[in-house]
Amino acid sequence: MKIENILNEWGIIITIILIAIPVIVASIIVILRANTVVSNYFKKKELEKFNEYIKDLHPEEVQKLEQRKKELEFALSNNELAGETTPIDTKGLINHVSQVEALRFIEQKKKSQPRPYIEPQLSKLILWYLGCATFWLVFGTTVGEYLGIKFVAPDVDHYSWLSFGRLRPVHTNAVFWGWASLAMMGLAYYVIPRVSNVPIASIKTGYRSLILINTSVIIGSICLMAGINNGGGEYREYIWPVMALFGIGILISLRNFFKTIAKRTNKEIYVSNWYIISAMMYLLVIAFVAYWPGWQRGLGETIVQGYYMHQGVGMWFMLFNLGLMYYFLPQQLNRPIYSYSLGILAFWTQILFYTLIGTHHFIFSAIPWWLQTVAIVGSAGMIIPVVAGTTNFLMTFKGSWNKLSGSYTLPFYLIGIIFYFTGSLQGTAEAFRFTNLVWHFTDFTVAHSHLTMYGIICFMLWGFIYTIVPRLTGNEPPQITVGAHFWLALIGLIFYSFPLMYGATLRGLMWMDGKPFIESVELMAPYWMWRAIGGSLMWLSHILFAYNFYVMVRRKEEIIIPESPIDILKAKLELDKQTITNK
């Protein structure tokens, strides 16, 4: 691959086009926005002039307008046939009346339902969490997208701060601790007070936690790019003082949640809280064990690394998200969870088996053979919680499948649940000694981690966010961009992971065959290209998600110049009132 003709490569061209599309779309959006601002400005000027004019309106003119208003407002009473009696709907039979007025190009999905009152301060806190999370999603995946391009064009830049080895952990840590963690925490601030039936103990603590976590990810990312890292363990690349900020952030929120649960007015502790509180406790345990700066010589480091990275994924992200799912899914479907006991079974078996499986990342390595076997057994045991959880969710869905097509949130839930099943079981399959032989060290692991962290965690989080934000702000996202987000993310993920898994399998077989290593690098080239293409689609979907989020939280401000007699009179009335109060 000569560097000068890399731009003649079809794949590069496709990737560049794919990257250019969102940039072009974004510029169009920017231009449209700017246009509105400018025209708003001119309209404002016009409005001022008009107001001057109607202030000095001649009484005769006013009279004429009033006359015309009366005429225009004339209408039939609509009671000509029905008479004066008001119809009564004592049994509440007429409900959710919807009317179709125009031809439908996009199927109209159900609007979000009004929900119990949330204090505005808490709303604001949750939106801050979700907003920061969205920022880290876009940031982290932009970095990820760039890394994917580097596989295809290793010489795109030669800056030390942007070199592959330094940027890779920036990507993983930003999406882990910035995006997913903050989104989960924000959603927990919604769920915990809801299921405990009391207000949150302290909103201030929520903000402190938010600031700590953001600071940790900002400093961490800069450190990594500057070449300051912890020595290579995956997801443990931040040095301990940086990770400590994150840990403190979680700790204070954990106390906050615990206090809230202690004050609960219902007797039971809903199963969501089991999962969420446990996930937070476990994160603190694993971070403490992995970061305590006084131990881990030699292979001790590797054993702890296996434990840490896998508990981070399974006991923090997965457990937390399952907890959120146990709240949101029944609530979205408007029916109770299929089986509470299955949820409890899944909870305890997940703890039992998941904790054991960390070292399955180091099979055949120099760590004790018995520990590797325990990890493999634990991975097989994971079938129990995964099957229990999936069954529970799908049985809750049962009888409500028709709701799926009419909702823009439920597809996210369903994909999350499906990937929960396939992704987790794929992890079990990968842990066996023979499959490990073929797939270990290849990009199969990368594909797997995206199928799970993206397919499960991200899809679930998006579903939850689209569920609650319209409730908090009263603004719905445009359904067409939600749909585009969903499809681009899903198709992108498939383009990303499937070719990568196929290529990685060939690569592993090649290694087993004893072929020269560089031939296996050559082999991967087209699959890395597909990864870059899939990655671009995923990235584009995140831009759409950010846009949707923005639409959901922005405050609308429209300037209307009164035109009809009614509006003009109204405006005059308002203005007159103002002049009186001003005096």
Partner 1 sequence: MEFFDNHKKLFRSALGLFLLLTLFVAIIPALNNQENNAPLPNYEPSSEEASLGKKSFIANGCVACHTQQVRNVDMDKMWGKRPGIAADYAGITRTDFWRNTATLMGTERTGPDLTNIGTRQPGLAWNLLHLYQPRTVVEKSIMPAYPWLFEIKNEIGKDDVEVIVPDEFRKGINGKIIAKKEALHLVAYLQSLKQTPLPEGKIPMEFLYKKKESPMSDGNKANLPDGQTLYTQNCASCHQANGEGLKGAFPPLKGSSIVLEDNLELFVDIIMRGYDAREEYAVMNAVGTDNNLSPEEVTAIINHEKTSWGNNAKTVTSDDVKKIMDYIKQASKK
3-class DSSP state for residue 154?
Answer: coil
Count the neighbouring beta carbons within 10 Å of the beta carbon of residue 290.
Answer: 22
Q: Which residues touch 183 (CB under 8 Å, ≥6 apart)?
A: 129, 130, 133, 134, 137, 461, 464, 465
CB of 522 to partner 1, least distance (A): 5
In the complex with partner 1, the residue whose CB is nearer, 233 or 463, is 233
d(CA 152, CA 6): 9
In the complex with partner 1, the residue whose CB is nearer, 360 or 485, is 360
d(CA 435, CA 437): 5
In the complex with partner 1, the residue whose CB is nearer, 401 or 441, is 441
In the complex with partner 1, the residue whose CB is nearer, 234 or 476, is 234
Furthest-apart CA atoms within the chain: distance in Å: 99
CB of 562 to partner 1, least distance (A): 58
Within 153-202, where are the H helices?
Answer: 164-173, 181-196
In the complex with partner 1, the residue whose CB is nearer, 118 or 228, is 228
In the complex with partner 1, the residue whose CB is nearer, 22 or 358, is 358
In the complex with partner 1, the residue whose CB is nearer, 164 or 401, is 164
CB of 337 to partner 1, least distance (A): 15
CB of 351 to partner 1, least distance (A): 6
d(CA 150, CA 370): 39
CB of 290 to partner 1, least distance (A): 8
Q: Which residues touch 560 (CB under 8 Å, ≥6 apart)?
A: 567
CA angle 329, 331, 332 (to 5 degrees): 65
The amino acid at 125: L
In the complex with partner 1, the residue whose CB is nearer, 153 or 553, is 153
CB of 188 to partner 1, least distance (A): 15
CB of 86 to partner 1, least distance (A): 49
d(CA 159, CA 255): 43
CB of 301 to partner 1, least distance (A): 4
CA-based end-to-end distance of the chain: 79
d(CA 407, CA 72): 41
Q: Could you tell me if 473 and 553 are in contact, meaning their C-beta atoms sit under 8 angstroms apart? A: yes
CB of 122 to partner 1, least distance (A): 21
The amino acid at 300: G
Q: Could you tell me if 547 and 29 are in contact, meaning their C-beta atoms sit under 8 angstroms apart? A: yes
CB of 142 to partner 1, least distance (A): 18
Q: Which residues touch 579 (CB under 8 Å, ≥6 apart)?
A: 55
In the complex with partner 1, the residue whose CB is nearer, 378 or 477, is 378
d(CA 165, CA 291): 21
Q: Which two tokens stand for residue 522?
A: 């050559």
DSSP classification of residue 110 = P
Phi, psi of 365 (to 5 degrees): -90, -170
Q: Could you tell me if 315 and 286 are in contact, meaning their C-beta atoms sit under 8 angstroms apart? A: yes
CB of 464 to partner 1, least distance (A): 23
In the complex with partner 1, the residue whose CB is nearer, 114 or 516, is 516
Q: Which two tokens stand for residue 83?
A: 């008479």
Q: Which residues touch 2 (CB under 8 Å, ≥6 apart)?
A: none
The closest of 509, 542, 507 to 522, measured between CA atoms, is 507
In the complex with partner 1, the residue whose CB is nearer, 59 or 298, is 298
The closest of 168, 183, 169 to 137, measured between CA atoms, is 183
In the complex with partner 1, the residue whose CB is nearer, 226 or 429, is 226
In the complex with partner 1, the residue whose CB is nearer, 127 or 309, is 309
CB of 165 to partner 1, least distance (A): 3
CB of 345 to partner 1, least distance (A): 13
d(CA 13, CA 536): 13
